[in-house]
Amino acid sequence: MTDAEEQAAREYLREAGYEVLSGFLPSKTSYRDAQNHGRSVTETRIDALNAKAHRLIQSLINKVDAMADHPASPPD
């Protein structure tokens, strides 16, 4: 995925009303290989891919933490 494709996908999701996290996992054989061998996406043999996975996971953790600090109001 090119940078332009990533930005277009992010903009499309935002316009559709979704919140977009920082980072993404590109479609890479190394991620599939890690998972096929019982490892996580942060445990590939390629440091740059592990860093991408860590960035996305940290973004998710930050979002969950923020939601815990400010829970949504229950529906009426």
State the Cα torsion 21-45-4-15 to the nearest 10°. -20
State the pLDDT confidence band at 3, using cuts at 50, 70 and 90: confident
Distances in Å between the Cα of 5 and the Cα atoms of 34, 46, 69 are 25, 23, 33
pLDDT digits 0-9 by tens, 25-53 = 988 999 999 999 999 999 999 999 999 99
pLDDT digits 0-9 by tens, 9-29 = 999 999 999 999 988 898 899
